[in-house]
Amino acid sequence: MNAIIDAIEMGRDSAAQLLLALKDDGDGLELPTLQAAVLELEQKCPVKIPEMDAAKKWIHKAALWEEKLENNVECNSDSGVSDEEVLLEKKLTLKKVERLVTKGKNLTLRPRSLVRLGNCVERAHLLRRKIIVWNEARNQENPQNLKFISGLVKEANKMDLMFPEILTLTGVHKKAEEWMDRASIAVRTTISFQELESLVSMGEELPLNVSDLLEKL
C-alpha cells in the first residue's frame, strides 16, 4: 500500500516538475533543454502521467517547426563580398519568415527560436518603414547623404532578410558609391571638360546630398 502511495506522490511530483519545465518566461523555450528534462522525468517517474505524453507531442511538433526553420534559413552569403552582394544573395524573404512565424504561433509550446524570429520580423518592418520614408523623401530639397543609406544597408545586411524595398535601397547605394569613387578620382586628377560635365550632371541627379563633392568638381 505504501508503495502505491509513494508512486502516486512521485507521479504528482513529476507532473509538477514537468509543468515547471514547460513554463515560458517570455523568451520562449529551448527545445533541447526541455527534451532532456522531460526524458529525465519520464525515466524517474514510476507511473505514467498523461501530461508527459502531451508534452512529448508538443515538443515533437515544435521540433519539426524548428527543423523547417533551419532548412529555410540557409544563406549563401560570403564575408568577402560587398553589402549589396550579400543582401542580394539572401534567400530568406520577409514574407517567408512571416509565414513561418504564423505557423509557429499555432504551436502549443513556443520555441525560443520563434520568439527571436518574431522579433526579427518586427525589426524588419521598422527598417522597411525607414526605407519607404527615405524613398518617398529622397527627391525633396534636403535629401539624405550616402552615410545615411549606407547605415540602412548595413542594418538590412545584419537582419539577413530580403524584401522589395531593399532592392531600391541597394540600387541607389551602389550607384552613389560608384559616382563618389569616380568623383573622388576626378578631384585628384585631370579629366576632360566633357567628362567633368557628365560627372557633375550625374551627381546632381542622384537622390542624395553629395554637395561636398559637387562643389569640389
**Domain shared by 154 and 177, yes or no:** yes
Average pLDDT for 181-207: 77
Domain boundary among 48, 73, 98: 73
Q: Which domain holds residue 146?
A: 76-217
Average pLDDT for 36-63: 89
**Domain shared by 157 and 96, yes or no:** yes
Contact 55, 37 (CB under 8 A): no
30 against 212, higher pLDDT: 30
**Domain shared by 81 and 57, yes or no:** no
**Domain shared by 93 and 157, yes or no:** yes
**Domain shared by 19 and 47, yes or no:** yes
**Domain shared by 2 and 39, yes or no:** yes
**Domain shared by 211 and 142, yes or no:** yes
Looking at the chain, the whole-number percentage of residues with pLDDT higher than 70 is 83
Average pLDDT for 206-215: 76
Lowest-pLDDT range of 121-125, 175-179, 213-217: 213-217
Using CA atoms, how far apart are residues 62 and 32, in angstroms rounded to an integer? 11
Give pLDDT, residue 1. Answer: 60
Domain boundary among 73, 92, 110: 73
**Domain shared by 80 and 58, yes or no:** no
3-state secondary structure the chain: CHHHHHHHHHHHHHHHHHHHHCCCCCCCECHHHHHHHHHHHHHHCCCCCHHHHHHHHHHHHHHHHHHHHHHHHCCCCCCCCCHHHHHHHCCCEHHHHHHHHHHHCCCCCCEHHHHHHHHHHHHHHHHHHHHHHHHHHCCCCCCCCHHHHHHHHHHHHHHCCECHHHHHHHHHHHHHHHHHHHHHHHHHCCCCHHHHHHHHHHHHHCCCCCHHHHHHC
Domains in the chain, number: 2
Domain boundary among 73, 100, 127: 73
Q: What are 132-171's pLDDT values in tens digits?
A: 888 887 766 667 778 888 898 888 888 778 888 888 888 8
Average pLDDT for 1-12: 68
Give pLDDT, residue 74. Answer: 53
Lowest-pLDDT range of 15-29, 77-91, 147-161, 200-214: 77-91
**Domain shared by 101 and 171, yes or no:** yes
**Domain shared by 114 and 89, yes or no:** yes
| 216 Cβ contact list (under 8 Å, min separation 6) | 183, 187
Give pLDDT, residue 2. Answer: 67
Inform me whether the pLDDT recorded for 62 exceeds 90. Answer: yes
**Domain shared by 187 and 176, yes or no:** yes
